[in-house]
Structure 1
Amino acid sequence: MEPVLNLIRIFLAAFSMLAVAASMLKLGHWTVRMFDFPRLQLLFLSLVTMVLFFIPFLNTNPWNMLLLAGVLGSVLFQARKIVPYTIFSRKEVRTSNRQENDDEISLLVSNVYTPNRNAGKLISLVRQYRPNLVLTLESDTWWEKQLDVLKPDYPHQIKIPLDNLYGMHLYANLPLENVKVRYLVKADIPSIHAEVVLPSGKKVQIHCLHPEPPSPSESDSSVPRDAELLIVGKNVKNGNQPVLVFGDLNDVAWSRTTRLFQKISGLLDPRKGRGFFNTFHAKYPFLRWPLDHIFLSSDFLLKRIKRLPSISSDHFPMYARFELAPGNGQDSEKEKLDSEEKEWTRETIDEANPRILTI
């Protein structure tokens, strides 16, 4: 029994350390980038591995202690990545306790999963929460027809039905201006950029995204996804309007790319200090991480954020409501990119060979 247990310890310790090493590599291949996603699961695995080193007792030979030190390092590495998204960290976006007013905006983001035919579940959620903006992703012509029932309540619509898993529809009950549909990196992957006019007359710049993920079935590399996020980040930085960026970014909140996107754009993440809000995979509780995101400029305060019930998609929908409150004292402390980050950003965008650099 002891030899078998020892082999298990060695294997799990090696895997835990491999996951850390892969996360530190600046390679875009999906076999490397996949380790960015399951941080919580990798932390749990490392903790279990640590416990195994003490069963039935701790062997203090140098080799064993070296492995144990590596596993401890893995625990600390994974924990450091996810702690900002727990209640033990400072909230990056403050909560507003004011009554409802004309400077509020709410949105619902849902990757519907193209083969899913339970449109009624999403429509029920829209009617229950009555968001100002509804963004659907992976929506094709079938989904567009089902969602036509929203037109009386959402007269402002941008429809991009596609059958390649990158269809996108935006429904709004507030006026939209300066609408642009862009194909930033690839000719068949759209994004929506517009201004929303609030009841008060103030305008909010929105960017709706669904970049291609690194995976064996789609893109071998994370470069197209990374480049799209970085291009949007560069376009919204130092803007003179309130900004919301949202969608299925096919990236997790704690990845190098998302953190760099925040540094470049200066946008804030309302999940920090509140929770993970894991939206994928809806059907596998033990394999979940946050893929659907909402980033905002410091002009906003949070009224509510919630992961909504399943609509039979592989993603849970996300709902959030914000109050536009410029001068609220939470101006983001924009971190400056170091020379290495600037070089990586430049190389990533160049390698993706984007179609558009200015939105």
Structure 2
Amino acid sequence: MPTPDAILIGYTLLIVTVSFVNLIPLDYWWIRIWDFPHLQLTVLAALGLVAWGWFGNQYFNDWLVMVPIGLLATLCYQAWLIYPFTPIHKRQVIRRTNPGPSDRDNTVRLLISNVFMDNTEFGKVRELVDQYKPDVAMFLETNQRWQDELKSIEADYPYQILHPLENTYGLLLYSKLPMKHHELRHLIQDDIPSVYVQFELPSGIPVHFYGVHPMPPSPTEHYRSTERDAELVLVGREARKQSEPVIVAGDLNDVAWSHTTRLFQRISGLLDPRIGRGLFNTFHASYPPLRWPLDHVFVSCHFQLQDIERLPNVGSDHFPMFIELTYVPDAERPVIEKPQPEGNDLDEAQETVEEAK
């Protein structure tokens, strides 16, 4: 076999294997980590097809026939995963195109930022708050130094949940909206906090907010994804029970197209504002070729979208996210089909929680 043919076959086997290995229903990090780079694998598969057309045996002799078949199958699979986050897909969250006089009192502006605990660009974060003037700002990976550096914004945000930690899972939440109820939770792991808050919009409408930052599966963090997946399941099941508006936001340490995140949507019934708009890749801020969407905002069907942006880098490995949402009363909004559990989703969710606990 000529050397170029052997290289193409080996390359194809590698790309196909790492593209589909995430379909194995095991939670080990070395499997789940391949949920992330599907954009990059799409490019690599396309490059492989170009190389086959340039160097390969055009007569499909011997094993070389597997090169275009395998790479085309990979591209189809990647396209199926990524297609919902392109402008040609129907949008899940409708844009607010006919604002009314009540919109101002029914709108919430939310800023989410994983600041990277060792980052010292404190001024950039404060500038973002000054520029975008969010009603609610949540900062993740915050320690005591970050809390001290953000004291200057506290006067504008009288409602706060401040839980700095030195383990990269600290959380600081600042709000202009009154908190009618709030809880600092440790749903699965004792050192991984999350928050549940019932905000009140100026109109008096309550909004149930869940802020999360579960631990990712990785060789430096956790050997499996079960704890992350279980935390998302617990939040999703609780969110679905709410009859009032819901927002779930944070660094989920998972990508938008993964089985876990799609399961979360079906369990929670929440909508993804990125669907039909774009990926809004937030990680890794310093390496453009290695980016994927890790920071998320999911909303109930009560909301329509005013704005969604990936904000400039603040010195972190994550870009911040900003979203502006308007609550629309039932009588004024069209009927929207919520995601629903499929097949054995509920059994899988329960098994995940039981295994994690």
Q: CA deviation at 1:239?
A: 1.4
The match for 1:345 among 344, 349, 352 is: 349
2:273 is aligned to 270
Alpha-carbon contact 1:94-1:330 (below 8 Å) kept: no
1:356 is aligned to none
The gaps in structure 1 that reach 5 residues or longer are: 354-359
**Quick check: 1:45 aligned with 2:50?**
no
Counterparts of 1:20-169 in structure 2, within 5 Å, are 20-56=19-55, 58-97=58-97, 98=99, 100-169=103-172
Deviations 1:78-129 (A, max 9, x none): 1100110011111110000216521000100000000001110010001000
Return the alpha-carbon distance in structure 1 between the equivalents of residues 274 and 74 of structure 2: 24
Alpha-carbon contact 2:305-2:324 (below 8 Å) kept: yes
Code of the aligned partner of 1:43? T
Query: Which sits farther off after the overlay, 83-92 or 61-70?
Result: 61-70
Alpha-carbon contact 2:306-2:326 (below 8 Å) kept: yes
Alpha-carbon contact 1:93-1:330 (below 8 Å) kept: no
Return the alpha-carbon distance in structure 2 between the equivalents of residues 78 and 15 of structure 1: 15
**Quick check: 1:200 aligned with 2:203?**
yes
Query: Which sits farther off after the overlay, 52-61 or 306-315?
Result: 52-61
Code of the aligned partner of 2:87? I
Code of the aligned partner of 1:312? G
Q: CA deviation at 1:55?
A: 1.1
Counterpart of 1:114 in 2: which secondary structure? coil
Counterparts of 1:161-240 in structure 2, within 5 Å, are 161-240=164-243
Q: CA deviation at 1:138?
A: 0.3
Return the alpha-carbon distance in structure 2 between the equivalents of residues 112 and 148 of structure 1: 15
Return the alpha-carbon distance in structure 2 between the equivalents of residues 172 and 348 of structure 1: 33
Alpha-carbon contact 1:266-1:332 (below 8 Å) kept: no
Deviations 1:218-241 (A, max 9, x none): 101000100000111111113111
Q: CA deviation at 1:68?
A: 1.8
The match for 1:297 among 293, 296, 300 is: 300
Q: CA deviation at 1:34?
A: 1.0
Alpha-carbon contact 1:53-1:59 (below 8 Å) kept: no
Query: Which sits farther off after the overlay, 135-144 or 65-74?
Result: 65-74
Return the alpha-carbon distance in structure 2 between the equivalents of residues 252 and 234 of structure 1: 19
Q: CA deviation at 1:330?
A: 4.1
Q: CA deviation at 1:302?
A: 0.3
Return the alpha-carbon distance in structure 2 between the equivalents of residues 194 and 298 of structure 1: 19
Alpha-carbon contact 2:9-2:66 (below 8 Å) kept: no
Return the alpha-carbon distance in structure 2 between the equivalents of residues 144 and 29 of structure 1: 34
The gaps in structure 2 that reach 5 residues or longer are: none
Code of the aligned partner of 2:217? P
Return the alpha-carbon distance in structure 2 between the equivalents of residues 206 and 342 of structure 1: 23
Counterpart of 1:124 in 2: which secondary structure? helix
Return the alpha-carbon distance in structure 1 between the equivalents of residues 60 and 271 of structure 2: 46
Code of the aligned partner of 1:350? E
Query: Which sits farther off after the overlay, 41-50 or 55-64?
Result: 55-64
Deviations 1:178-222 (A, max 9, x none): 101110000010001011111111110000000000000110100
Return the alpha-carbon distance in structure 1 between the equivalents of residues 200 and 94 of structure 2: 23
Q: CA RMSD in A?
A: 1.3
Q: CA deviation at 1:62?
A: 4.3
2:250 is aligned to 247
Code of the aligned partner of 1:133? V
Return the alpha-carbon distance in structure 2 between the equivalents of residues 342 and 196 of structure 1: 29
Alpha-carbon contact 1:205-1:244 (below 8 Å) kept: yes
Q: CA deviation at 1:308?
A: 0.2
Return the alpha-carbon distance in structure 2 between the equivalents of residues 219 and 316 of structure 1: 23
Q: What is the aligned-residue identity percentage?
A: 41
Return the alpha-carbon distance in structure 2 between the equivalents of residues 17 and 183 of structure 1: 38
Q: CA deviation at 1:335?
A: 2.2
Alpha-carbon contact 2:271-2:339 (below 8 Å) kept: no
What's the TM-score, normalizing by structure 1?
0.95
Counterpart of 1:151 in 2: which secondary structure? helix
Return the alpha-carbon distance in structure 2 between the equivalents of residues 167 and 59 of structure 1: 59
The match for 2:319 among 316, 320, 323 is: 316
Q: How many residues align?
A: 351
Q: CA deviation at 1:73?
A: 0.5
1:331 is aligned to 336
Code of the aligned partner of 2:73? G
